[in-house]
Amino acid sequence: MRNFSKVTFVVAAAAFSLSLGTRLSAHGDVTPQPVDTTALPDIQPNNDTWLEHNPYRGNAKAIEIGQSAYAQNCARCHGLGAVSGGIAPDLRYLELGDEGDTWYLERYRHGSVRDGKVYMPPMAEALGQKAGWAIRSWLETVHADD
Ligand code: HEC
């Protein structure tokens, strides 16, 4: 009898940690979704040399690609349509223009790690520079003021 209840407990604990694990990974799963940027002009001198400012600002194709790239890679934390649900900053309030580019790029390239906890994973390596600026181009079209 004692052994039996112990087994039951172990099974219950395993089932619990399994469901916890699934829930955690549902939230923390940030496998980047590749973005097709072939329709955008390559960055000079090459796509791996980081520019300081957005070369695609106002480019209609970049805005279109950026919107879907955002939906696939950023919305789960920053909210659909860039309207934050509260777990990450609302990106509509990022500063426009060159000033905002700098901070945007900092997070896009390096993410945010504080006290060893990953608040935002770096995105640049997986998605690339062209996708990064495309997302930034779209974000500027949904900008909101304070
Ligand atoms: C796993 C969740 C997650 C994903 C996915 C994510 N972010 Fe973030 N992001 C955060 C969090 C949390 C912060 C706030 C970090 C902090 O305060 O240290 C943040 C901060 C930022 C900031 C700075 C905002 C500010 O007001 O300071 C930018 C820009 C940003 N993210 C862009 C992006 C872009 C672009 C993508 C998609 C390519 C993306 N993030 C994907 C969670 C995420």
CA angle 143, 33, 61 (to 5 degrees): 50
Annotated domain spans of the chain? 1-30, 33-141
Q: Does the domain made of 33-141 have the CATH classification 1.10.760.10? A: yes
Assessment of whether the complete model's pTM goes beyond 0.75:
yes
List % helix, strand, coil for the chain (3-state, nearest 5).
55, 5, 40
* Per-residue confidence (pLDDT) for residue 85, from 0 to 100: 82
Indicate the top mutation candidate among 115, 120, 135, 140 to test ligand 1's pocket, ranked by most ligand atoms within 8 A of CB.
120
pLDDT tens digit at each of 146 positions of the chain: 455 544 444 444 444 444 444 334 444 566 889 999 999 999 999 999 999 999 999 999 999 999 999 999 999 999 999 999 888 999 999 999 999 999 999 999 999 999 999 999 999 999 999 999 999 999 999 999 87
Distance CA 121, CA 112 (A): 7
Indicate the top mutation candidate among 72, 107, 109 to test ligand 1's pocket, ranked by most ligand atoms within 8 A of CB.
107
Q: Is the CB of 77 under 6 A from ligand 1?
A: yes
CB 107 within 8 A of CB 120: yes
